[in-house]
Structure 1
């Protein structure tokens, strides 16, 4: 692929959700305060929500979350940040090969560090005037993808000269993504054996968001169906569920924890689990799915429980990103 302009014009911004800087209560509290103060995430009236957040949620949830983060923290740092940095480097190398010269790739988090404003500043300093934004959320949601663009818009409000922007809105049913997900599962099965059932657990959102037009639930079902078809699974060999619900409001169902508790009584005792909404392993996969939900399944009578890790920085994932980015560069 040959770009029409100098290589310095083009750049890529990878964005994931975020992570605390360290697994301590103060660091987790700072992160949760920023994350949960975003109206894209929680749309309760600000005056009411801030009272609840500051007075109840942060004091009690921060220490518990810090303990959970400590259980999955790596020597190099947060798994989400460490793997995301590996993705950044691998993608830049792969793009060099794909387009014939260097395209700057910067990593940002919607919440926490590295921040979106800092990443945009680094791209500008590198002479980039055309930016492809790739939010690492396959399925669009107002609480993830839209929040990325809120952050970009807020950062660019301070600039006189705005860059040209192109963005990947979603890629939940993109053939390259489906191929990567199915390939990841198949490779795992070849190396470790195959369970009798596959559970695809997606992060949840409040049902109200879907009722108001958020396409996330539809995207999740389309992803699950496409991956199952690519793997050649029958309708009885896989299940979709939604995890990580918070509060008393109804979220997307069926819930992952309830599903796992019920499976052994239904004759499903040999299970593989994947999380197709997550581009990188993080607290929700390594602690919630790999450990906590495993206990629910085993205590209910489950015998074999295997968590298949996210795409992370695997070659198939990086190649998928290259494909998405090259599609955005065409005709620019």
Structure 2
């Protein structure tokens, strides 16, 4: 009778995993070092987050963010003196206060970091079920930590000969998708042996993404005693000039709202598109959310719901700006009922939509 197999100790499991992951290439001499087995990396990217809410962590984060020419494209000689003195002299204090109002004190991190970790944990489970150990799933931030460079380096060291880079922005914009891709390409420049690479296209019109948005609206409305008069789809703003220069973001936002309206079976009077988070003196995409919700209240729309389809995870712009500043604008104008519908975050329908989109972009690499 064969004796029962003893459970593996942690050390034995580590040695077994190392033997599975690393091997000496066929026909290589005995002195050849073991190399990791080839894998496909799936690197999810989000905007970023400060490491803390005090002055210096906030200043480092804002300096990196606001120095990005994709975000603020004014000439450096004109913008940097203003940024380094006026903006970074004051804004770390006000931004730090806003972050403290939503900070995850238990984990000592921003909600964006907490939610991104949750999203990636679920994505790992789904993608490992489909592809097994052939994929490595991780995340990085465009600004702050963990950096794109550090995660690309880790994937290469782990044996990823191919990387699918996945910015979590449904709608493409130069200030979001493009700058994340820029940073990914910069990281590849540091690699002696570059992995083959792809970037995930925008998915603003993906049926599964639209369906996930619609389900979130239906769930939120089902909890209310009375349906809101109108749903405000508030997207992050951009300077109007960017639209005139060829950025497709505005058009993709408008299409997302239209597809959501059609999926819900609504008329035009039940949903609208607005833009939030203005910065600087020039004109941005309109209508501005903070002004439009007040105008809706004055026009008799006393019950509204607001969602943010351009954000894959709740963050400072949704938890603080929408749920506090924009809510106050609506209520001060006479609004009576304000419902914020959370971002898709780690909702199962959202994870399935992302996994499907990722899978469709792995063609030729994995089946």
Counterpart in the other structure of 2:219: 187
Counterpart in the other structure of 1:56: 86
Mapping of residues 170-319 of structure 1, within 5 Å: 170-193=202-225, 194-319=227-352
Q: Does residue 1:160 correspond to 2:192, yes or no?
A: yes
- Report if aligned partners of 1:7, 1:101 keep a CA contact under 8 Å in 2: no
Pick the aligned partner of 2:149 from 114, 117, 120: 117
Cα deviation per residue 1:178-215 (whole Å; 9 max; x = unaligned)?
Answer: 11111111122223453221000000000011100000
- Report if aligned partners of 2:39, 2:136 keep a CA contact under 8 Å in 1: no
Cα distance in 1 for partners of 2:46, 2:37 equals 25
Pick the aligned partner of 2:69 from 23, 34, 39: 39
Cα distance in 1 for partners of 2:337, 2:38 equals 51
Instruction: From the superposition, tell whether residues 133 and 124 of structure 1 become closer, same or farther in structure 2 (CA, over 3 Å).
Output: same
Q: Partner of 2:175: helix, strand, or coil?
A: coil
**What TM-score comes out, normalization by structure 1 length?**
0.96
Counterpart in the other structure of 2:124: 92
Cα deviation per residue 1:32-72 (whole Å; 9 max; x = unaligned)?
Answer: 00000010000100111110100111111110000000001
Cα deviation per residue 1:19-42 (whole Å; 9 max; x = unaligned)?
Answer: 101111211111000000010000
**Bigger radius of gyration among the two:** 2
- Report if aligned partners of 2:165, 2:184 keep a CA contact under 8 Å in 1: no
Q: Which has the higher contact order (CA 8 A, sep 6+)?
A: 1
Q: Does residue 1:323 correspond to 2:356, yes or no?
A: yes
Q: Partner of 1:110: helix, strand, or coil?
A: strand
Q: Partner of 1:129: helix, strand, or coil?
A: strand
Cα distance in 2 for partners of 1:166, 1:274 equals 30
Unaligned runs of 5+ in 1: 1-5
Cα deviation per residue 1:145-190 (whole Å; 9 max; x = unaligned)?
Answer: 1101110121111112111111112000111111111111112222
Cα distance in 2 for partners of 1:30, 1:255 equals 29
Say how many residue pairs are matched. 327
- Report if aligned partners of 1:92, 1:102 keep a CA contact under 8 Å in 2: no
Q: Partner of 2:169: helix, strand, or coil?
A: coil
**What TM-score comes out, normalization by structure 2 length?**
0.87
- Report if aligned partners of 1:8, 1:103 keep a CA contact under 8 Å in 2: no
Cα distance in 2 for partners of 1:248, 1:283 equals 22
Cα distance in 2 for partners of 1:235, 1:98 equals 40
- Indicate the larger mover: 302-311 or 185-194: 185-194
C-alpha deviation, 1:325, in angstroms: 0.9
